[in-house]
Structure 1
């Protein structure tokens, strides 16, 4: 097993372990300590402790690698690689008792995402990919169709947060409406991308999203045969404007990237 595949095996193992811990907290969520990071932006002891678990495994196994995590920020390493962690993507769903949340781990080397793992404990689904080796949900390969798609049948997930200007968001909804496409909002960017890769929906767009929410999922979509693009830099200090979809929808959905201005 080469070094990259070894990292991948560890990432899958840690995602499942972290997911089991998160699920324990989910079952006792009424007793959790919860803090606010902003309007409708929550963090709980579950988020912090799940990230700490993953960081401890990384420190034991790959102490030379850097780490970027949602809750604890950036920790520099001495190697050319670093890990990107979202311990619970979909915290609001998690705290409300909704099933749409997951553990997200990506590995970046030489500026390119090499490994993406999204574990959904409530459904026991492990979405994962290694660059150049395909995408999978559990042991089933994911292959997106390359055939043309009628726009009147298209369904995409649209992310929306309070950093996005409401007029820009509404302009995108209007664009989809005029093109006869439909949209939904889920509350977890990682799961939106996983379900895009699985072909359950046709795409995902969000105007301002953090790298830990999307880097793993973008690789999984790409390895499943999909297309993605973004504006911005996937760095600790910046947000990204992200579009991912089935490849035949690239032309129809690209205007979403250019409605409004990055903020």
Structure 2
């Protein structure tokens, strides 16, 4: 296998192993030590232990790669690329016993995601992609339908957190409804992007979000035939991002969401 194929195989294996560990914690979540990182921003011992497992597995096979993780930060490497990991994306859902959370790994090289994996343990769904080689869901090819999506039949995930501006969020809601689009909040950007890729929803937008939340999902959307605003653009590593991913037919309709500041 070439390097990307090896990294893809490793990422899929590690995501499943990490998902099993996360599930063990999920089943006894009332016993976990939980700390606040900010307003409505939580971290538990499960997040830390799952990230530690992922880091150790990556280092065993690709010790020269850098790693950027949500909980332990940046670890520089000597190779041309680095991993981006979110051990439990959707921690609030996880801690409250809700099913929508997942393990996320991405490999970045030349400022573009080359491998992306999102695993939802409760749903037993493994989404993955390798740049130029398509996307998969549970080892089967994943491709969005080619038919255009009419705005008045579209369903969009709209992300919001304490770091977002409430008046701007309300304005974006107003805009979506003016286009006759329906919307939801999920609480996991990684799964919102995965569901955009498989066509369960038609798009995802959040104005300020971290790379580890979205890196894998952006590639999965792209390789499944969707569109996102970082296609052919370098990814920022150390700053929050505004992200739009959607069915390609909705790009023009949804781009005004960026014009609403905040």
- Where in structure 2 are the equivalents of 1:12-51 lying within 5 Å? 12-51=12-51
Aligned-CA RMSD value:
1.4
Counterpart CA distance in 2 for 1:153 and 1:238 is 34
Match in the other structure for 2:255: 254
Counterpart CA distance in 2 for 1:122 and 1:144 is 23
Q: Report deviation, 1:236.
A: 4.1
- Where in structure 2 are the equivalents of 1:62-81 lying within 5 Å? 62-81=62-81
State TM-score, norm by structure 1. 0.97
Counterpart CA distance in 1 for 2:121 and 2:145 is 27
Counterpart CA distance in 2 for 1:144 and 1:49 is 35
Match in the other structure for 1:162: 162
Counterpart CA distance in 2 for 1:51 and 1:233 is 25
Q: Report deviation, 1:123.
A: 1.0
Counterpart CA distance in 1 for 2:149 and 2:188 is 25
Counterpart CA distance in 2 for 1:115 and 1:258 is 31
Match in the other structure for 2:243: 242
Match in the other structure for 2:183: 183
Match in the other structure for 2:153: 153
Match in the other structure for 1:216: 216
Q: Which runs of 4+ in 1 moved over 3 A?
A: 230-236
Q: Report deviation, 1:230.
A: 4.8
Structure 1 residues 236, 112: CA separation in 2 closer, same or farther (over 3 Å shift)?
A: closer
Q: Secondary structure at the match of 1:42?
A: strand
Q: Secondary structure at the match of 1:254?
A: helix
8 Å CA contact 1:74–1:236 kept in 2: the answer is no
Q: Report deviation, 1:233.
A: 7.0
- Where in structure 2 are the equivalents of 1:86-97 lying within 5 Å? 86-97=86-97
Unpaired segments ≥5 residues, structure 1: none
Q: Secondary structure at the match of 1:145?
A: coil
- 1:127-150: per-residue Cα shift (whole Å, max 9, x none)? 000001111110221111232222
Number of residue equivalences: 261
8 Å CA contact 1:203–1:244 kept in 2: the answer is yes
8 Å CA contact 1:145–1:246 kept in 2: the answer is no
Counterpart CA distance in 1 for 2:106 and 2:85 is 7
Counterpart CA distance in 2 for 1:101 and 1:18 is 13
Q: Report deviation, 1:237.
A: 2.4
8 Å CA contact 2:112–2:235 kept in 1: the answer is no
Counterpart CA distance in 1 for 2:147 and 2:258 is 23
- 1:61-112: per-residue Cα shift (whole Å, max 9, x none)? 1110000000000000011110000000000000000000000000001211
- 1:164-208: per-residue Cα shift (whole Å, max 9, x none)? 111111111000011100100000000000000000000000010
